[in-house]
Structure 1
């Protein structure tokens, strides 16, 4: 199975915007849900792009399952993000003016895509996510973020995403010269809090 390129849009058109935000929804969510988060972010003048996963999930198993068990969905999901990014680039936006926001499964997918394709982006926000695979394979991750700001927020504990994996992911990203800010909230639960929104706006969408 592969995902269709079903990209929902909001905000300004790519032709008229100077910046774009790619938003990746979580398991069971949808593009419209994640686009609604933009109302809380300082992205009023951005073009907003949110691809929709077929069957509302990007890959079937845990992000820490053996990678092969999530194929071919995982590779297709990463290709969808690549296509969404390329859509913005083809309209003349520079990578340093393209931003990312992902939640849960969407945060894992966002971080995985960025680490595999590191360059100077505008910035990224990943709420409750980490790099994908049974073990992290540093050999998959290439490129230089050139101090791209990446904010990661998470709960400890989180049923789906262990803090140990989040910390290991931060180490990889920092090794690729990302400017990573991590915020850990004890027993907060699997959701997004107001402080994370505030940090995202100050650190990434300023």
Structure 2
């Protein structure tokens, strides 16, 4: 039996709405029945609770007892990682279980209780990493000078930060967000992900060029 759910879509381009909606509907067609779709446009940098469509979605869920919300992906919650993680925590505290049509990094789909447990473990890990990052903020900035006897440029990130970068990329965080989080360039991220082709994604500039040629 399908579970009652709502969908929330946040887009940067008006033309993306129907495309994103089709992806969400394809994801849920055997699992969920979408009661309503709520939307916001060009608000990714705004905390979710300050968005009009998002607020309407939460009020609807509360009024009708909806426990499942479908998003396109994790980054559609917010382009700011701290805001996105805080919103995940709030949703779970309100007994709302989020699902992602793309890059859903939580293995449990059919067991909501187990899924909530996985989310809590993920949030605990990310909170631990954020505390570590705050205490070691100087490690995010390239040192002015290299140690004596070293050859070449200093590393932008240490081993622990590289592991954290790979983890957050697997969770669906965009490369642009990762660059801001770790204070590194896109080329540095590309080098780190060179051994993980499934995580590299497409460069939007290249995609736009190819689309222009086909028109």
Tell me the TM-score normalized by structure 1: 0.43
Structure with the larger strand share:
1
Question: 1 or 2 for the larger relative contact order (CA 8 Å, sep ≥6)?
Answer: 1
More helix by share: 2
